[in-house]
Structure 1
Amino acid sequence: MRTVFIIIILVFASFHFALAQNGLAIKKATGKIELDAQMNELDWKEAAIAENFAQFFPSDSVPAKAQTEIRMTYDEDNLYVFAKMLNLGPREYVTPSLRRDFRGEANDVISIVLDTYADRNNAFLFGVNPFGVQREGLIANGGSVASSDTFSTSWDNVWYSKAEIYDDHWAVEMAIPFKTLRYKKDLNNWYINFYRFDSEYSEQSTWTPIPRNQFIINLAFTQPLVWDEPLQKTKTNISLIPYSIFRNSKNFETDTPTINDFDFGFDAKFGLGPAMTLDVTANPDFSQVEVDQQVTNLDRFEIFFPERRQFFLENADLFASFGIDGTRPFFSRRIGVTRDESTGQNLQNEIYGGIRLNGKLNKNLRLGVLNAQLKENEAIGLASTNYLVAALQQRILSRSYLSATFINKQAFVDSVGGDFTFSPNTYNRTLGIDANLATNDNTWNGKLFYHQSFDETNSDSNYAFGGFLNYSTYKLESNLTGQSIGAGYNPEVGFVRRRNIFQLTPQVWYNYYPKNRVIQKHGPGISGELIKNNITLDDLDWNLALNYRFNYKSTAYLELSAEKQYTFLLNPFDPSGLNGLALTEGTDYGYSFLSATYRSDARKVFSYNLSTQLGEYFNGSLYNLAGTLTYRYQPLGFTSLNFAYNNIRLPDPYKDADLLLIGTRFDFTFTKNIFWTTFVQFNSQIQNVNLNSRIQWRFKPVSDIFLVYTDNFFAESQTENGGLILPTIRFPRQRAIVLKLNYWLNL
């Protein structure tokens, strides 16, 4: 009994030590470090150890089952990390493929978070899995807000690693060049944390303990990395990335001649000291970018598709995080797309070039400037247009900051071939200020924003004002989002779903943590939405949902909802989505429905996500079934099937609909450097079959050869309402094949 008592005391003492850790010391290496995933060098044996990892999932009050040990050192050029991931016995490892920048909590990976300005607002992330596959990313917003720009793996840079699997552990050795990072010189410490996903034990663990109601990348819980001497300025950092491309394309719908063209351009990166970067692009090309995943459009408003172009993705949080989801003053996909006012169609608008300057002016002040010049289009009378976006971010308190932005869209001529002018007749500008606030432990975080647009029409009510407030504890999670958008608010370079509205969106969840082997937490929730006319305060839409959710220790998830919806139509709307007879404006509808979402254990070779909705829909009914089925042939890749079926039944004379969207993705990685991805998507709503196949060879770090084939076919449905019967493929619409080479040169 005494022995058991001593063991218990030692276990709790070790965990208390983990809670009380106050940083990790790092010393300069005295010898050369070889990347071999073996701890042979004397510097590793003398380095301080980050150990005593704490569990983050499924619990957060016990030491990790699978412990981890991490050591760090450095020399003039690189930061080195050695990580040893211990196991409890023989086991297998999980990875989606050998493709870089993988994501997913069901995979095995060790990640290091580096806050190089010690501001707990922005950080770099580097991760490696047992198969040696790398991922890197950028963390913004303190890692504390659930939004698409909080964590992004779009940032791509040069660093090195080696991984090996041993009998009782796996190990990773990393070398991260200082010129890859941006940091404030003469700092005595950075902030760091490490976290590990382990598929065998369905466990997530961190060096610094983090409450499980927070995000695992939350920078509020980082600890100091204490340097033995302050870091100085890095060596000159200039990179040139030229590209060349050959394209063969044919538009069958317009029956124009086949086009064969060769083009070239370049990107360049200039390190302006250790804290600032200037990016330049000339004649950029984005042919290698993956196609958007198609959706069935049953919405009355514009659908948001995320940015996928590399130049606009890097450090996007500084420009794109103003406002809230659905109301953004800057949306980079507006750059490169214009509108033909005579037909109402969106057209591609080529980009001459652009620059992006971003970095830290001092520890607390961050600057970003983006400028792009687009080509003229004589066919529609569009003059060459300039896009300018500037942003400043000033830290206040420990984890809060004020941000300001200025966005300008204008041509420097009033017509194609006109005289140069700084005061054109047509322009669009937006000014905005945001305040992001967070407590030190992130129990409370929120935002307030005010934006105003300006153009030659001098419209009234040209503002957007709003924000959100989050409160998160173990038992209670709540959110309140609200905004008021004027009828004249028109940021042409932004994304605004609705105007002239007052909107409130509350949500509350209560969590239970049962002591069983299956469920990690469960609990009820209530959510809603109220949208009113911004002037008269008449009801436009409202929604009330009663919810219940289950988080399983296997990483599976189940959510059930019962909802009541009210909709007032300001414009005619066809709920069938097939351009049938529209419901008239000024009519209103109340309808109820049930919905459910389930995500299976993603650690399994076969996994799936399913969602369904059943019930009333405007003046009829809707049955929806959607999901993704994935089979993984580890470690080489996976095949997935995405589908969405909408069965819509409306009373006469309105049109019924059976809308089918189905797509397959084949993702195969021959090695860690050669990848093949193929999408095939059929959308009965727009009667289109899309094929996109891409082979990528990364022949050296951040240098690639791409071969991309794209085809679109007109696919006629076999029934009037669409349906589950496979379509008849009538004729091709557009076809293209692209060969592209880009090469990263460090000068």
Structure 2
Amino acid sequence: MKLTFLLLLAAFIGTNAVALPFQKLKNDTISAPFNKDFVYHVKKMHAEITIDGQIDEPDWLAAEKADNFYKVLPVDTGFATQPSEILITYDDKALYMAQIFYDTIPGKRVMESYRRDFSFGNNDNLLVFFDTFLDQTNGFSFGVSASGAKWDGTMSDGSAVNLDWDCKWESKTKHYDDRWVTEMRIPFKSIRYPSGSRKWYTNFSRLDLKANEKSSWAPVPRQFPTASLAYTGVMNFEEPLPKSKMMFSLIPYVFGGYSNDFEHGTGNVWKKDFGFDAKVGFSSSMNLDLTYNPDFAQVEVDQQVTNIDRFELFFPEKRQFFLENSDLFSGFGDNNINPFFSRRIGLDAPVLAGARLSGKVGNNWRVGFMNMATKETNDFLARNFTVASIQKKVFARSNFGFILVNKEYIDQPSDTTMYNRVAGFDYNLASKDNIWNGKFFYHQSFQPGNPDKQFAQGFGLTYNTKNLQLEIMQRSVGENYRAEAGYVPRTGYNYISPEVTYLFVPNKKVVSHGIVVDFRYYFDPDFHKIDHENNISYQFEFQNRSSLVFGYQDHFVELQQDFDPTHKSESFLPAGSKYNFGGAFINYTSTRKTLFNWNAEIAKGTFYTGNIQYITGELGYRYQPYVNLSVNFNYTDMKLGQPFEHTKMWLVGPKMDVTFTDKLFWTTFVQYNEQIDNMNINMRLQWRYAPVSDFFVVYTDNYLPGSWNSRNRALVLKLTYWLN
């Protein structure tokens, strides 16, 4: 505890030492976006605006209109079928936005639910993207669906939006026969921007499912998302924005619960405790997050999958503390060589406390620092995790960065030295028009008693136009590379993967179609081939946004370790054995504008020593906007021959998501998984009784199929309140 306190204090002092005078942007170092001629002038307010969904105040009548939205999908030529208008104004405390989306096509507007951070493709919606630091890489996104559900997230990597970030803002949506209208008020203290700003980069995006169109104010090529910050327009404020002040938010929480692990005979265990999160905004661009005794029981449960792979599966981080500016910590390497993966923290021991500093220093520098401590358990010593990173923008939209990750055991025996460290360098390439993207990285691990070959290196380059996409990926990972706080499912290999996609865009009932050829080759350190996966497929995208893909996969594997493809047998395939197998597949995704929607993939072919066939997908039906019913499913049938038994495995996950209002939600998720002989029930009630303040009730039960005896059971109550 003493160590953690000192680390938090050091982080606090270090943050105060940041050279805040360098926060002011210098215009001569800012590169203009591709759509620099799309300019919106924001006038300052002269009276009050009531957020009621009625656009009738004088400041709205005087505001400039952003209209004439350009089509992005199904094709990026011409204007959208149905008109759209955006109005913006501001005062000394907040930004105000009004949206008017005209809609005269017969039929109900598509609105899935009232749930915050709605699914983009399942709702008519407005999304807004703000690049407040003019770097065309990072920013903030806000939006509303036709039901009035909110969307907010942080942006990184030029277009990625992380929706697990929430802030305080308000909106109101109203429906009329020929249009739907929203007013929004976003406090300046909820987002970060340079002191004295008079310019942001921005774009506005509309998804109109009834018209089968996606459109934007500043035009975006169809191969890119409308969130692409390379294609924003410019928003000029009439007067400089208010100078940011030091902000402080405290989020205390109390929680209590009951649990019983029947398998291990623990009996009834009752728990009550408290903790807090805190946010300290030292400037409009630098933020310190603190946490003590966090509890993550309210985090959504992972969707299970049937595992027939040889390597560890990846499940995304969902805990909010780790998510703001998360690319500064988790954006190094690539999907299969990541030196820091925050889910390693708290995976096998409770988190005691932590601090996270992140933000910008000056025009072109970003910094990140995280320090987390976990408690000692019967199985593990207390551990400390430290991550430090720095990133420098170069050229129009590229950057390079350095990262240092340290995992160290606390109060370890005097005759041992236990730690794991990784240092790395990454260069990320992004051209001004986003057509060229790439990455190069080199990482080195350090661990006592571990010999050489502790390196990981990778390179990638992508060329992306409307018709043609070319990609080349390369990796080399040393046999002794260890990133214990990261995600590295395999080591000791060299990898090369070229991919070619060519699309025809006729813009008829079939909007686009084309071929994809993908080769993936793995070699051992001596460049002897140990794996390949070659894929060829043909894809169709239809006017109603449904899609069809079919193709063939060819595999070769020389096992480096014993392997059981079923993950439930006592038999295995021996290391050193070689296999050639492959099969055909077909995948279909239906339109999302109908109340019933579905997707499915069917595959059949050879698999190691035998045959495999499977069907996987999801069925969904909505009673909009209150109830969403869905079932994800997977049926796998493997006949591997002796000594393996004929294996059939079902995974079925029915889910009911009820949004009574925009403040009261109830989710029930049941997952029956034959591969691990378990049925899990997870029920979660969330009441947002005040802005970003919640009361949660979470119930979890695991059963043993067959006898239906309970394996373990838990009930948790948690209350949070945001003070600022």
- Kept in 1: contact 2:692–2:722 (CA 8 A): yes
- Kept in 1: contact 2:673–2:679 (CA 8 A): yes
TM-score, scaled relative to structure 2:
0.94
Residue number in structure 1 paired with 2:362: 362
Residue number in structure 2 paired with 1:394: 392
Is 1:53 equivalent to 2:69 in the alignment? yes
Is 1:429 equivalent to 2:421 in the alignment? yes
Return the alpha-carbon distance in structure 1 between the equivalents of residues 399 and 240 of structure 2.
Answer: 26
Return the alpha-carbon distance in structure 1 between the equivalents of residues 232 and 341 of structure 2.
Answer: 31
Residue number in structure 1 paired with 2:257: 247
Q: In the TM superposition, what are the counterparts of 1:176-195 in structure 2 within 5 Å? A: 176-195=186-205
Query: In the superposition, relative to structure 1, how do residues 475 and 414 fare at CA in structure 2: closer, same or farther (>3 Å)?
Result: same
- Kept in 2: contact 1:519–1:550 (CA 8 A): yes
Return the alpha-carbon distance in structure 1 between the equivalents of residues 592 and 210 of structure 2.
Answer: 12
User: Which amino acid counterpart does residue 356 of structure 1 have in structure 2?
Assistant: R
Return the alpha-carbon distance in structure 1 between the equivalents of residues 689 and 393 of structure 2.
Answer: 41
Instruction: Pick one of 528, 531, 537 that aligns with 2:522.
Output: 531
Residue number in structure 2 paired with 1:654: 644
User: Which amino acid counterpart does residue 712 of structure 2 have in structure 1?
Assistant: Q
- Where 1:745 maps in the other structure, the secondary structure is coil
Residue number in structure 1 paired with 2:87: 71
Query: In the superposition, relative to structure 1, how do residues 20 and 462 fare at CA in structure 2: closer, same or farther (>3 Å)?
Result: closer
Is 1:411 equivalent to 2:403 in the alignment? no
- Where 1:231 maps in the other structure, the secondary structure is coil
Return the alpha-carbon distance in structure 2 between the equivalents of residues 428 and 574 of structure 1.
Answer: 30
- Where 2:585 maps in the other structure, the secondary structure is strand
Residue number in structure 2 paired with 1:331: 341
Residue number in structure 2 paired with 1:546: 536
Q: In the TM superposition, what are the counterparts of 1:376-395 in structure 2 within 5 Å? A: 376-377=376-377, 379-380=378-379, 382-395=380-393
Instruction: Pick one of 470, 485, 494 that aligns with 2:486.
Output: 494
Residue number in structure 1 paired with 2:119: 103
- Where 1:142 maps in the other structure, the secondary structure is coil
- Where 1:496 maps in the other structure, the secondary structure is coil
Residue number in structure 1 paired with 2:220: 210
User: Which amino acid counterpart does residue 715 of structure 2 have in structure 1?
Assistant: I
Deviations 1:625-654 (A, max 9, x none): 111000111110211111111110122233
Higher mean displacement: 287-296 or 569-578: 569-578
Return the alpha-carbon distance in structure 2 between the equivalents of residues 457 and 105 of structure 1.
Answer: 50
Matched-pair identity in %? 40
> 1:713 offset after TM fit, Å?
0.9
Residue number in structure 2 paired with 1:724: none
Residue number in structure 2 paired with 1:265: 275
TM-score, scaled relative to structure 1:
0.91
> 1:475 offset after TM fit, Å?
1.3
- Where 2:189 maps in the other structure, the secondary structure is helix
Deviations 1:134-170 (A, max 9, x none): 1101111111xxxxxx221010110011111112111
Return the alpha-carbon distance in structure 2 between the equivalents of residues 240 and 491 of structure 1.
Answer: 34
Return the alpha-carbon distance in structure 2 between the equivalents of residues 639 and 329 of structure 1.
Answer: 38
Moved over 4 A (4+): 18-21
- Where 1:497 maps in the other structure, the secondary structure is coil
Q: In the TM superposition, what are the counterparts of 1:120-519 in structure 2 within 5 Å? A: 120-143=136-159, 150-337=160-347, 348-377=348-377, 379-380=378-379, 382-415=380-413, 425-516=417-508, 518-519=509-510
> 1:602 offset after TM fit, Å?
1.3
Return the alpha-carbon distance in structure 2 between the equivalents of residues 621 and 21 of structure 1.
Answer: 58
Q: In the TM superposition, what are the counterparts of 1:700-715 in structure 2 within 5 Å? A: 700-715=690-705
- Kept in 1: contact 2:245–2:282 (CA 8 A): no
Deviations 1:214-252 (A, max 9, x none): 122110011111122222422442111110011100010
Query: In the superposition, relative to structure 1, how do residues 294 and 106 fare at CA in structure 2: closer, same or farther (>3 Å)?
Result: closer
User: Which amino acid counterpart does residue 605 of structure 1 have in structure 2?
Assistant: L
- Where 2:251 maps in the other structure, the secondary structure is strand
Deviations 1:657-716 (A, max 9, x none): 00111111010111111111001111111111100001110111111111111000111x
Query: In the superposition, relative to structure 1, how do residues 605 and 729 fare at CA in structure 2: closer, same or farther (>3 Å)?
Result: farther
- Structure 1 residue runs of 5 or longer lacking an equivalent are 1-17, 144-149, 338-347, 716-727
Return the alpha-carbon distance in structure 1 between the equivalents of residues 76 and 572 of structure 2.
Answer: 53
Instruction: Pick one of 691, 696, 704 that aligns with 2:686.
Output: 696
**CA RMSD after TM alignment:** 1.5
> 1:90 offset after TM fit, Å?
4.7
Q: In the TM superposition, what are the counterparts of 1:81-92 in structure 2 within 5 Å? A: 81-92=97-108
| Count of residues paired in the alignment | 691
Is 1:731 equivalent to 2:709 in the alignment? yes
Query: In the superposition, relative to structure 1, how do residues 500 and 19 fare at CA in structure 2: closer, same or farther (>3 Å)?
Result: closer
Instruction: Pick one of 544, 565, 580 that aligns with 1:575.
Output: 565
Deviations 1:57-86 (A, max 9, x none): 111111011121111111111011111111
Return the alpha-carbon distance in structure 1 between the equivalents of residues 135 and 565 of structure 2.
Answer: 49
Return the alpha-carbon distance in structure 1 between the equivalents of residues 439 and 382 of structure 2.
Answer: 36
Return the alpha-carbon distance in structure 1 between the equivalents of residues 41 and 394 of structure 2.
Answer: 28
Return the alpha-carbon distance in structure 2 between the equivalents of residues 575 and 412 of structure 1.
Answer: 38
- Where 1:45 maps in the other structure, the secondary structure is helix
Return the alpha-carbon distance in structure 2 between the equivalents of residues 19 and 529 of structure 1.
Answer: 37
- Where 1:480 maps in the other structure, the secondary structure is strand
Deviations 1:174-231 (A, max 9, x none): 1100000111112331100000011210110000001101122110011111122222
Return the alpha-carbon distance in structure 1 between the equivalents of residues 307 and 145 of structure 2.
Answer: 38
User: Which amino acid counterpart does residue 744 of structure 1 have in structure 2?
Assistant: W
> 1:331 offset after TM fit, Å?
0.4
- Kept in 2: contact 1:576–1:655 (CA 8 A): no
User: Which amino acid counterpart does residue 504 of structure 1 have in structure 2?
Assistant: I
- Kept in 2: contact 1:323–1:467 (CA 8 A): no
User: Which amino acid counterpart does residue 544 of structure 1 have in structure 2?
Assistant: N
- Structure 2 residue runs of 5 or longer lacking an equivalent are 1-33
Is 1:522 equivalent to 2:522 in the alignment? no
